[in-house]
Structure 1
Amino acid sequence: MKRSKGPDLLPHPADHARLTKTISDVKTLLSDIEIGPHIGAGTFGQVYKGRWKGTSVAVKVIGHQGAGYKSNSQTSREAMIGLASAHPNVVAVYRVITAENEIIAAEIWAKDGFNLKTYIVMEYCDKGTLEQHRKAGWALLQTDYQRGLVWVLRCLLEIVFGMEYLHSLSIVHGDLKCANVLCKSSTSDARGFTCKVADFGLSKTVATDGVSAITSKPGTAVFAAPELLRAGSLAAESDVYSFGVVAWHLISMGSGLADMEDVQVHYQVLEKNWRPAFPKETPQQYRDVVSTCWATEKKDRPSFHKVRLTLTKMLAEEVAARSQILRSQRSQSGDVDVRTALKDIIAVDPRSLTG
C-alpha cells in the first residue's frame, strides 16, 4: 500500500478504519484498569499504581511513535519479556495495551507512524526498590553483622534466582542495578519482602553462551561491564558483572558511587581497571565471589548457577553459625527461644538447595 511522503499527511482511508477500530478495542480494554497515583519512573516510561480486576497493579505508561500500530523496540521488548517470564523473582506482566496518544488527533499521520501510548500492566511490588532498602541492610550490618550478612545474602540469592531464570531463556537484562530490583511484601520472611528483577527496557536476546549483542544504550555506567562501556557489547557475563556491583553496594555500609560522573567511571574502569574497595568487615568468601563477578575479562566471570551455589553455601554456613550461637546462649540462660530468634535470621529458601 503506497502513501504520499511527508510527516503531516492524512493516512490512507483503510489505515484510518483499522486505526479507529483498534482505538475502540483498546478503550474497552482500558476501561477495567484504574490508573492511580504516580509511583516512579522506569527506563522508558512513567509508572503508576492502579487497580485491575480488584487487584493492585503497577501500570507503566510509555509514549512513543510506532510503525502502524506496533510499539517501538524498547517498549515491545520489555512487554514481551515480561509476558514470557513466569518466575517468583521476576516481575510479572499481566497485560500490554497500545492506544492512541490522546494529545495527538487520531487522523494525523506522523513521520514514523501514529503517535501511541503503551500501557504495561504489571505485578505491583508495594515495598519499592532494593535501592530504597539498602540503608536498612547497612543499619543491620552495623548493629548485628551476622544477621545483616544473612539479610544481604537472601537479597542476592533472590536476584540470582531471577537472573539465572532469565539467562535460561537467553535473555540478557542489560541494566541490572539496585533500582531495577523491586521488593514485594512477604510475611514469611523476616525482611518483610522478597526481591524481583524488573525493568527490561534495555534487555536483549542472546542465542548462546559467550555470544554478545551490540547495543547503543549501555545502561547505568556504574553498574556496566567494561565491554559494555567500551564497545556496547552486551552478553550474559555483562549481567554477572553488574550483579557484582549490586553485591558490593549491599555490603558497602554507606559507601557509594553515586557521586561519580559517567566520564569518571569510564576512565577509572577502562583505563585504571579500578573497582571500589570493600569495608574491612567483609568476609573473604564474599570478597572472592564479588571479585570474580566483576572480573575485567568476561571469560573469567562465573555463571549465575555457580554464583548461586557459592552464595547458598555461605548462607547455610551463616545460619548454622547463628543457630549454634543461640543454642549456646540458651544453655547459659533460659531466656533465649532459639526457634523464635531464628526467625530473625531467615530460613534458607528450599530453591537454593537444588543443584
Structure 2
Amino acid sequence: MHLYKNVLMDTLYRRKWFIIFILSVYRRLDPVEGLKCYCNSQSESCPNETCETDGFCFASTSRRDGRQHYTFQCWGRSSVFPPGDWPIWCRAHEAPEQVFCCATDLCNRAFVAPESSPSAGTWHVIPWVMGLAVLFTCAALSLWWAKRSRNLMKRGSRPLFSGEDSMCETRHPIMGTATIRDMIELTTSGSGSGLPLLVQRSIARQIQLADIIGKGRFGEVWRGRWRGENVAVKIFSSREECSWFREAEIYQTVMLRHENILGFIAADNKDNGTWTQLWLITDYHENGSLFDFLTARTIDTNTLIKMALSIATGLAHLHMDIVGTKGKPAIAHRDLKSKNILVKSNLSCVIGDLGLAVRHNVAADAVDVPSTNRVGTKRYMAPEVLDETMDTRQFDPYKRSDVYSFGLVLWETARRCGALPDEYQPPYYDCVPSDPALEDMRRAVCVERRRPNVPNRWHSDPVLSAISKVMKECWYQNPAARLTALRIKKTLANIAEGEQVVLKM
C-alpha cells in the first residue's frame, strides 16, 4: 500500500510539471494587447508602416510573375483560427506560402525568405544525389586502378619506384663470378629487353660511384664500378622523375637491344637520407660522347664511314617495326645529336638518351608520346618542328625529323675528317648564337632556308663527296623527300664496301 501511494504521488508530481511547461509555452504564444507590427500595405490601418493589434505580427512570402513578393501585416485576436490556438496560417507545413508569426513588437520585420531556399523535398533528395556521386567516383577509381594494374602486368619490365620487392624471378642461377653481359645473356631469354627487375635492383645496390663524367639538364652522369667492371650511372634529379621513368621504360622495350643502341643494365631508386636518387645504369664507354670525341680528335675516312654507318644502323633499328608475339614497336628518338651518341672503344657508335623517344602503336595507329615537358635541342630541330607544321598525330613525321638531325650529325663528323680537317663547330655556328633561341633557329632554317656549309675540299675527296650527298638528302625542307634511315644505312654500307672499310662494330 505504501509503495502504491509513492508511485501515485510521483506520477502526479510529474504531471504537475508537464502542465506548468505547457502553460509557460502558451503564455509565450499568448497574444499581446497593443502589439506593434511592421506592415507594408497602403491602407489607413498601416500609417508609417506600423500597425497595432491584440493578436499576432504576421509575415509571408510568395512568388508571382517570376518575382518574390513579401506581405507584412497585423492579425487581430478575432481572426485567429482555431480560437486560443496557434493560427493555422502560421503552420508552414499546412500553408501554401512561406509564413511567419510572432508576438513581440515589430518582430515580423526580421522575416526574410531566400528565393533559392530549398524545400523539404529538396533536402530529402540531396543525400541521395551525394550518395550516387560518391558511388560513381569510387567505381571510376576502381576501373582506373584495374586498368593501370593490367598495364603494369603487361609491361612487366618497368622499373620499380618504391621499396617493394619485385615478383620477377630468374630462370637460371646467377653465378658468383658472372659479368653483367653474362647475366643479360642468361636472364633475358632472347627478349632483348635487359635484366629482370630483381636482378636490376641487386646490381644497382652493389655499385660504387667513382667519378662524375658529365652533367645535363636531367642531372649527372657518373662512372661506377660493379665487380671490377665500369658502368655509367645517370642520376636524375627528383623533379625529373617522369623523364627517368620514361627512359627506363623505352630501354626495356622488347627486342630493343642492339649493338648500336646504348646497352641498358638497370633502373633503381635510392634514398640517401636527404632526397631520393633516381638511377639509370647503362654500359660505360670511355671515349665519351661523339661531341667530346670530335672536339678533341680528328678522324680518317675509314673512321668517318664506320661512325656514320653505325649511327645509321642504330637509327634504322629504332625506326624498325618488328612484327610478332615478341615484336618491337617502331621508335623515334626526337633528340638525336652528337652529345647523345657515344663512341665505343672500336670507334663505332651507339645511340643513347631515349628519354624523349616516342613509340608507334600499330594496332591503334597512334603515337605514344611521353608526358614530360622536355623538348628536343633547338639547334637540331627539323624545319617542320620549328615552325610547328608537323603532324604530331602520325608517326612517320617523327622519323623524318630524326633523319634531318642525323644529317647535321653527319656534317659535324665529316668536318673533322681528312688531311686538312676543320676545327669542330656545331651546326649553324655561323648564323645563330651559341645558345640560340627558337626564333633564331626558325629564322635561319625555315625563313632563310639555310643549311650547314659544305667545304670545297670535300668535292675532291670521293668519300667526303659521297657523304655530303647523303647529308643533303637528309635535310631537305620537304620531309617527304628525305631518305629513310634504312636507305641511309644501305647507302653508307655501299660506300664502305667501295672503300673496303673493315667494319667491326
Q: What's the TM-score once normalised by structure 1's chain length?
A: 0.69
Q: Which amino acid aligns with 1:203?
A: A
Q: CA-to-partner distance for each residue in 1:252-304, whole Å, 9 max, x for gaps?
A: 23254344423322211111111111011224432221111111121111111
CA distance in 2, matches of 1:315, 1:280: 22
> Is there any run of 5+ residues in structure 1 with no aligned partner, and where?
3-17, 105-115, 141-147, 187-192, 320-345
Q: Conserved in 2, the CA contact under 8 Å of 1:83 and 1:94?
A: no
Deviation at 1:218, TM superposition (A): 3.4
Q: CA-to-partner distance for each residue in 1:149-193, whole Å, 9 max, x for gaps?
A: 22211101000111111111411111111111111213xxxxxx2
Give 3-state SS (helix, strand or coil) of 2:208's partner.
Answer: strand
CA distance in 2, matches of 1:163, 1:149: 21
Pick from 223, 239, 244 the counterpart of residue 407 of structure 2. Answer: 244
Task: Report whether the alignment pairs 1:94 with 2:270.
Answer: no
Deviation at 1:30, TM superposition (A): 4.3
Q: Which amino acid aligns with 1:59?
A: V
CA distance in 2, matches of 1:28, 1:198: 23
Task: Report whether the alignment pairs 1:51 with 2:51.
Answer: no
Q: Conserved in 1, the CA contact under 8 Å of 2:358 and 2:367?
A: no
Pick from 443, 462, 467 the counterpart of residue 267 of structure 1. Answer: 443
Pick from 272, 278, 296 the counterpart of residue 118 of structure 1. Answer: 278
Query: Hey, what does 1:181 align to over in structure 2?
Result: 341
Q: Which amino acid aligns with 1:205?
A: R
Q: Conserved in 1, the CA contact under 8 Å of 2:224 and 2:233?
A: yes
Deviation at 1:244, TM superposition (A): 0.3
Query: Hey, what does 1:296 align to over in structure 2?
Result: 477
Query: Hey, what does 1:287 align to over in structure 2?
Result: 468
Pick from 205, 226, 229 the counterpart of residue 386 of structure 2. Answer: 229
CA shift in 2, pair 1:269/1:101, >3 Å: farther
Give the total of aligned pairs: 277
Q: Conserved in 1, the CA contact under 8 Å of 2:203 and 2:226?
A: no
CA shift in 2, pair 1:48/1:19, >3 Å: closer
Alignment of 1:1-355 (within 5 A): 30-65=204-239, 71-72=241-242, 74-84=243-253, 85-100=256-271, 102-104=273-275, 116-135=276-295, 139-140=298-299, 148-168=300-320, 169-186=329-346, 193-207=347-361, 217-231=374-388, 233=392, 235-252=398-415, 253-254=422-423, 255-256=425-426, 257-258=428-429, 259-260=433-434, 261-262=436-437, 263-283=439-459, 284-319=465-500, 346-349=501-504
Q: Conserved in 1, the CA contact under 8 Å of 2:204 and 2:267?
A: no
CA shift in 2, pair 1:82/1:214, >3 Å: closer
CA distance in 2, matches of 1:282, 1:19: 55
Deviation at 1:310, TM superposition (A): 1.0
Q: Conserved in 1, the CA contact under 8 Å of 2:263 and 2:282?
A: yes
CA distance in 2, matches of 1:20, 1:55: 26
Q: Which amino acid aligns with 1:164?
A: A
Q: Conserved in 1, the CA contact under 8 Å of 2:244 and 2:278?
A: yes
Bigger drift between 90-99 and 76-85 goes to: 76-85
Q: Which amino acid aligns with 1:88?
A: E
CA shift in 2, pair 1:162/1:282, >3 Å: same
CA distance in 2, matches of 1:19, 1:200: 23
Q: CA-to-partner distance for each residue in 1:201-239, whole Å, 9 max, x for gaps?
A: 22111336x977778543111211112222274611111
Aligned-residue CA RMSD in angstroms? 3.1
Q: Conserved in 2, the CA contact under 8 Å of 1:44 and 1:201?
A: no
CA distance in 2, matches of 1:19, 1:316: 51
